Amino acid sequence: MLPGIHDVELRVASQSTGGWQSWTMATVVALLSAGERKMRFVTGGDAGFEHNVNYFSFNLRPPDGDLDADTDVDGDDFIGFEECMAGPSVAPEPTAPPTIKRCKTAFDFNGDTDVDAVDFAEFQSRFTGST
């Protein structure tokens, strides 16, 4: 599993969707680190509530510059970018939050495992304001 933020999509059907073959898509978000993982389904609802799962898929989100995941790219994210930026071919070594993993999932736009000036150009193009 690639580390990062994944949109996990499930194709499901149940009594509430209109029947066992009345499919709908549900999405949950998972922040995953590298390595093997175990997945567990936990369902809510009344006793006897049943459902049908057709499939699920993990879709790695590309970096978007929004380090704090508040749907903008602003000065707060820039502070994090400065913490993550380490130059060409140098892995991020943040001394405070964010983590190395989060640096890469938020800012390594070209996927070369560093956060450098190339990534900063992309970050600038996504900057939405100072606050």
Query: For binding to Ca ion (CB under 5 A), which residues are involved?
Result: 66, 68, 70, 72, 74, 76-77, 108, 110, 112, 114, 119
Spatial neighbors of 67 by CB under 8 A, at least 6 apart, are 76, 77, 80, 81, 98, 102, 106, 107
Tokens encoding 116: 């450098």
Q: From the CB of 114, what's the least distance to Ca ion, in Å? A: 5
Q: From the CB of 93, what's the least distance to Ca ion, in Å? A: 14
Q: Which is nearer to Ca ion, 45 or 111 (CB)?
A: 111
Q: Which is nearer to Ca ion, 27 or 110 (CB)?
A: 110
Q: From the CB of 3, what's the least distance to Ca ion, in Å? A: 15
Q: How far apart are the first and last CA of the chain?
A: 34
Q: Which is nearer to Ca ion, 21 or 89 (CB)?
A: 89
Give which of 89, 111, 108, 88 is closest to 98, Cα–Cα: 108
